[in-house]
Amino acid sequence: MICIIAGNYHEALTFAKGQFLSPEEWFYPTDEDDLLRRKDFHVLVIGTAGQNVPPSYFERVLATAQMRGRMK
Protein backbone atom coordinates (compact mmCIF):
# COMPACT_ATOMS: atom_id res chain seq x y z
CA MET A 1 0.00 0.00 0.00
CA ILE A 2 1.22 3.51 -0.82
CA CYS A 3 0.21 6.70 0.99
CA ILE A 4 0.36 9.62 -1.44
CA ILE A 5 0.62 12.95 0.33
CA ALA A 6 -0.17 15.63 -2.23
CA GLY A 7 -1.65 19.11 -2.40
CA ASN A 8 -5.11 17.63 -3.04
CA TYR A 9 -6.86 14.41 -4.04
CA HIS A 10 -6.83 15.24 -7.76
CA GLU A 11 -3.05 15.68 -7.72
CA ALA A 12 -2.66 12.31 -5.94
CA LEU A 13 -5.04 10.62 -8.39
CA THR A 14 -3.19 12.03 -11.41
CA PHE A 15 0.11 10.76 -10.01
CA ALA A 16 -1.34 7.32 -9.24
CA LYS A 17 -2.79 6.99 -12.73
CA GLY A 18 0.54 8.05 -14.24
CA GLN A 19 2.23 5.27 -12.29
CA PHE A 20 -0.47 2.76 -13.33
CA LEU A 21 -1.47 2.15 -9.70
CA SER A 22 -4.84 0.53 -9.10
CA PRO A 23 -7.13 2.07 -6.45
CA GLU A 24 -6.33 -0.85 -4.12
CA GLU A 25 -2.61 0.00 -4.20
CA TRP A 26 -2.71 3.57 -2.90
CA PHE A 27 -4.60 6.07 -0.78
CA TYR A 28 -4.71 9.81 -0.20
CA PRO A 29 -5.07 10.63 3.51
CA THR A 30 -7.96 13.00 4.11
CA ASP A 31 -6.74 13.87 7.63
CA GLU A 32 -4.62 12.60 10.51
CA ASP A 33 -7.38 10.26 11.69
CA ASP A 34 -7.30 8.51 8.33
CA LEU A 35 -3.60 7.80 8.87
CA LEU A 36 -4.19 6.53 12.40
CA ARG A 37 -6.58 3.86 11.06
CA ARG A 38 -3.92 2.46 8.70
CA LYS A 39 -0.52 0.83 9.08
CA ASP A 40 2.27 -0.80 7.07
CA PHE A 41 2.49 1.43 3.98
CA HIS A 42 5.04 3.43 2.00
CA VAL A 43 4.87 7.23 2.04
CA LEU A 44 5.30 9.44 -1.04
CA VAL A 45 5.20 13.23 -0.93
CA ILE A 46 4.50 14.76 -4.32
CA GLY A 47 3.65 18.01 -6.07
CA THR A 48 2.28 20.85 -4.01
CA ALA A 49 1.99 18.92 -0.74
CA GLY A 50 2.48 21.26 2.19
CA GLN A 51 1.95 24.44 0.19
CA ASN A 52 -1.78 24.79 0.87
CA VAL A 53 -1.69 24.13 4.62
CA PRO A 54 0.22 25.59 7.57
CA PRO A 55 3.73 24.11 7.86
CA SER A 56 3.01 22.75 11.34
CA TYR A 57 0.03 20.75 10.04
CA PHE A 58 2.01 19.36 7.12
CA GLU A 59 4.87 18.32 9.41
CA ARG A 60 2.43 16.63 11.81
CA VAL A 61 0.71 14.70 8.99
CA LEU A 62 4.05 13.65 7.50
CA ALA A 63 5.40 12.50 10.88
CA THR A 64 2.21 10.53 11.55
CA ALA A 65 2.38 8.91 8.10
CA GLN A 66 6.01 7.93 8.56
CA MET A 67 5.32 6.48 12.01
CA ARG A 68 2.19 4.52 10.97
CA GLY A 69 3.78 3.38 7.73
CA ARG A 70 6.45 1.49 9.63
CA MET A 71 3.99 -0.30 11.93
CA LYS A 72 3.07 -3.86 11.03
Reported as a single tens digit per residue, the pLDDT across 3-43 is 999 999 999 999 999 999 999 999 999 888 999 999 899 99
Confidence band for 49, pLDDT divided at 50, 70 and 90: confident
- CA dist list (Å): 64 to 28, 31, 36, 38, 57: 14, 10, 8, 11, 11
pLDDT beyond 80 at 63: yes
| ∠ Cα 60 63 67 (to 5°) | 140
- Each domain of the chain, given as residue ranges in start order, spans 2-70
* pTM metric for this prediction: 0.87
In this predicted structure, what is the pLDDT of residue 13? Answer: 97
pLDDT of residue 72 exceeding 70, the answer is no
pLDDT: which is higher, 70 or 63: 63
Strands (E), the chain: 2-5, 26-27, 42-45
CA distance 6 to 68: 17
φ, ψ of residue 10 to 5 degrees: the values are: -60, -40
